[in-house]
Amino acid sequence: MKKILILSLFSALLITGCSIKNTGPQTLSVDEAKAKVGKFINDNLMQPGKTATIKDIIEEGGLYKVTVEIGQGQDVTSYMSKDGTKFFPQVMDVAEVTKQTADKNNQQNNAAAAQKTNAPKADKPTVELFVMSYCPYGTQIEKGIIPAVAALGKTIDFSIKFCDYSMHGEKEVTENLRQTCIEQEQPTKYLSYLSCFLQAGDYASCLKQASVNASKLQACTDATDKKYQITAKFNDKSQWPTGNFPPFDVFKADNTKYGVQGSPTLVVNGQQVESGRDSASLLNTICSSFNNQPSECQKQLSNATPSSGFGQGTGTNSSGGCATN
């Protein structure tokens, strides 16, 4: 009975003209494809009065590769599926497009880097360095910039400011406050104190070495603490804007103005700039912001990158920073 059913089905297929072969789209011959694509282009894609010519058509990659002359000797390479149902008017070379995209991105990155390297010029540049007092990368750039600042002297306006949050505990909040007051009220003693502090973080002996007036310093820290509620905010975690680190709001307006995200951030004439952290690079970066460079810019300083953290010595990392992102 099974054999009879199979024979009956086969006979029915023959009688009705049905076939068990694939009845999908049929492949066009080269001549058929040439005629079809030519008609399609001229009927649908060309401007009135313009005629395209199919110069060549060959099989390639499972498609028909079509060379189309669209006028004035201009050839365009397109593709059509072998069944004539799909037309691909533009060929994109994957490697070439990838290279073009990479080149474009590099140009944009270089332009952004150049913008960060070249600060606006001024007769007397303003140089602001934002750090956290216990950030190892903040101390690194401080060790590099002090000789540059000393070399330039009164030809620039220089100040160290602090990020608007602290990542290294209560000792950093206290040190930020201490340095802020020394710099603002006893400025001639500040770089001496800072140079000493950067060696071992021993603020007590450095206050004595730099001859900082203790009573004047205490009055300033008390007043500044009260004004910005530094200790109060440290003790109340609900006021920590990052959720993890206490605020230090003395320079909050400047942090916001310049878009400071972490330590260190160098701002010259109101614009963030990037620089190596060795003294020679920092001198060159600052000197590039003069309208007319003074003779101080010719001084030869060390091009050795200081070590990160406290202490003397050299290092290799000139890109690390302390930030929440």
Is the Cβ–Cβ distance between 271 and 112 less than 8 Å?
no
313 or 284, higher pLDDT: 284
The first and second tokens of residue 4, run together, are 């009879």
List, for residues 141-156, the tens digit of each pLDDT value.
Answer: 999 999 999 999 999 9
Among 87-96, 224-233, 278-287, 312-321, the least confident range = 87-96
Residue 6, classified by CB atoms within 10 Å of its CB into exposed (0-12), middle (13-18) or buried (19+), is exposed
The first and second tokens of residue 286, run together, are 């600052």
In this prediction, residue 243 carries a pLDDT of 82
In this prediction, residue 15 carries a pLDDT of 42
In this prediction, residue 87 carries a pLDDT of 86
214 or 106, higher pLDDT: 214
Query: Which pTM value belongs to this model?
Result: 0.66
320 or 190, higher pLDDT: 190
Q: Is the pLDDT of residue 325 over 70?
A: no
Q: Is the pLDDT of residue 99 over 80?
A: no
72 or 302, higher pLDDT: 302
> Across the chain, where does the E strand assignment appear?
53-60, 63-69, 75-81, 87-88, 126-131, 157-162, 262-263, 265-268, 271-273, 322-323
pLDDT level of residue 20 (50, 70, 90 thresholds)? very low
- How much is the average pLDDT of 6-33? 56
The DSSP code sequence of 251-316 is GHHHHHHHT--EE-EEEETTEEE---SSHHHHHHHHHTTBSS--GGGG-----SPBPSSSSSSB-S
In this prediction, residue 317 carries a pLDDT of 66
Is the Cβ–Cβ distance between 262 and 319 less than 8 Å?
no
| CATH numbers and ranges of domains, the chain | 25-88 (3.10.450), 120-320 (3.40.30.10)
Residue 263 CA, distance from chain mean position: 16
List, for residues 21-74, the tens digit of each pLDDT value.
Answer: 445 568 899 899 889 988 998 888 888 888 888 889 999 888 999 998 887 778
In this prediction, residue 50 carries a pLDDT of 85
Q: Is the pLDDT of residue 110 over 60?
A: no
Cα-trace Rg, the chain: 36
SS3 234: helix
Report the share of the chain in percent with pLDDT over 70.
Answer: 84
Is the Cβ–Cβ distance between 247 and 121 less than 8 Å?
no
pLDDT level of residue 102 (50, 70, 90 thresholds)? low
Residue 116, classified by CB atoms within 10 Å of its CB into exposed (0-12), middle (13-18) or buried (19+), is middle
Report the share of the chain in percent with pLDDT over 90.
Answer: 62
List, for residues 237-293, the tens digit of each pLDDT value.
Answer: 999 987 899 999 999 999 999 999 999 999 999 999 999 999 999 999 999 999 999
The helix (run of H) or strand (run of E) holding residue 181 is helix 169-185
In this prediction, residue 3 carries a pLDDT of 43
SS3 159: strand
Residue 266 CA, distance from chain mean position: 16
In this prediction, residue 8 carries a pLDDT of 41
Task: Kindly report the average pLDDT of the chain as a whole number.
Answer: 87
